[in-house]
Amino acid sequence: MKKYVTLLFPFILLFSFLLDGQLSTLLTNLVPGIIAISSHLLLILALVTVSYFPLFVNLLLFTILGLVYDIYYLNVVGIYITLFPLVVYVIDYFYQSLKFKRVTNHILLLVVVFVVEFGAFLFARLFEVTNLSMFIFVFYSLVPTLVFNSFLLLVVQPLFERIVYITNKT
């Protein structure tokens, strides 16, 4: 990876954090009915950062981003500050034995988005932030979010590969 990309990556993560919220709001307003789509560009970037930064740096970055995410979006500290480092650790664990390929990234992104969305839902139910039923959550939020983030990964992964020079040799 180029040196300037390494220095700019925390700012890229912060920008994607802000872009995620705007994109999620736009998509939720565009789709009909009560369907809620959440963009997880930040988790897509986590797939890239795990390959190039040490685990401690990634855990620190995503813990801070989880704290900011909790304060900015939820006003309840604890949900994403727990889930983001957990997800980074899971990604790092799988990348120790798997190669960085598009299919692997796609499957891992689906698992990670599922863990984050379902974990956030369970924590929200635990903290009594929501009383949404599991059925409504799965069919009107989780499934559209998984489909959208799959398409988003297909679109942005070639761009990220070009920026950070990811190959199968890394």
Taking the C-alpha atoms of residue 48 and residue 12, their distance in angstroms, rounded to an integer, is 12
- The residues near 60 (Cβ < 8 Å, ≥ 6 apart) are none
Taking the C-alpha atoms of residue 43 and residue 89, their distance in angstroms, rounded to an integer, is 12
- The residues near 19 (Cβ < 8 Å, ≥ 6 apart) are 39, 41
Residue 58 φ/ψ, nearest 5 degrees: -65, -45
- The residues near 130 (Cβ < 8 Å, ≥ 6 apart) are 121, 124
Confidence class of residue 119 from pLDDT cuts 50, 70 and 90? very high
Would the pLDDT of 167 be above 60? Answer: no
Q: Say what the pLDDT of residue 100 is.
A: 74
Q: Has this prediction a pTM greater than 0.85?
A: yes
Q: Say what the pLDDT of residue 64 is.
A: 95
**Cα–chain-centroid distance for residue 125?**
21
Extract the tokens encoding 106: 């796609």
